[in-house]
Amino acid sequence: MTQKTVALITGANKGLGLEVARQLGKQGLVVVLGARDEAKGAAAAAELRKQNIDAHVVKLDVCNKDDVAQLPAFFKDKFGRLDVLVNNAGVAEWRADDVDSFRRTFETNVFGVVAVTYALLPLLQASPAGRIVNHSSVLGSLTSLQKKPDMFGSFVMPAYTASKAALNGFTVALAHKTRGTALKVNSAHPGWVQTDLGGEKAPMKVVDGAKTAVMLATLPVDGPTGQFFHLGDPLPW
């Protein structure tokens, strides 16, 4: 069993997930990149290892039951532990707006997160400092959108907003269920960030976009649980 803190970041072959893995790795954590395309995950992990990061890869499509089922054994056998789970894998369908688009979006952004989290919860609860970070979005902050509908901008995606609001509900409920234990569960809004999902017009670079999740993944023992943050500032649900 490794003495180091071990983190799984889902959807970590590119974008925010890869940068979260890089920043956690630079802090000395062992990072495991979840990637549904193993070759892309292996290439990303190899790049991190060149930066002296202890990086590994696990084949993980969060919607694939077999991939999810093998996760606990993977972490027990390879590291004897799991301390941090960053539920980062996510999709946004800009154009489709129908019930099938809702189903596809919820499959990854909600059910995928729930499946991975519940599979790994016993290991995370066995950790002396378990941390779960759900990569949400301000587009799932219903209070923010109600107060300032302009925040939607050109991103009026009902399925995405509903999925991130549901994800936030999971954060609150799981934090409540585990309150009083060492585990902390929080939602992160990375900002509008230049990635394949965020697009080129986004004002933030990934290096800054990753900071909120990294902060929540490394919270001290007296840190918050069941809250929603962007760069250290609390967001309303």
The residues facing 228 across adjacent strands are 187
Q: How far is the CB of 34 from ligand NAP (least distance, A)?
A: 6
Dist. CA 45–CA 34, nearest whole Å? 10
Dihedral (Cα; 219, 119, 180, 184), 10-degree rounding: 20
Q: How far is the CB of 128 from ligand NAP (least distance, A)?
A: 27
Question: Which residue's CB is nearer to ligand NAP, number 130 or number 198?
Answer: 198
Q: Which two tokens stand for residue 227?
A: 């809250």
Q: Which residue has the tokens 């902060």?
A: 215
Looking at residue 196, its amino acid is D
Dist. CA 132–CA 186, nearest whole Å? 6
Q: How far is the CB of 134 from ligand NAP (least distance, A)?
A: 8
Q: How far is the CB of 218 from ligand NAP (least distance, A)?
A: 18
Question: Which residue's CB is nearer to ligand NAP, number 13 or number 227?
Answer: 13
Chain contacts with ligand NAP (rule: CB under 6 A): 10-11, 13-17, 36-37, 60-63, 88-92, 108, 112, 135, 137, 190, 192-193, 195-198, 202
Q: Which residue is nearest to ligand NAP (CB)?
A: 90
Q: Which two tokens stand for residue 164?
A: 């991130």
Question: Which residue's CB is nearer to ligand NAP, number 10 or number 168?
Answer: 10
Residue 160 annotated in active site: yes
Contact 131, 217 (CB under 8 A): yes
Q: Which position among 160, 192, 228, 229 bears the catalytic label? A: 160
Q: Which residue has the tokens 């230049």?
A: 194
Question: Which residue's CB is nearer to ligand NAP, number 196 or number 222?
Answer: 196
* Active site positions, annotated: 160
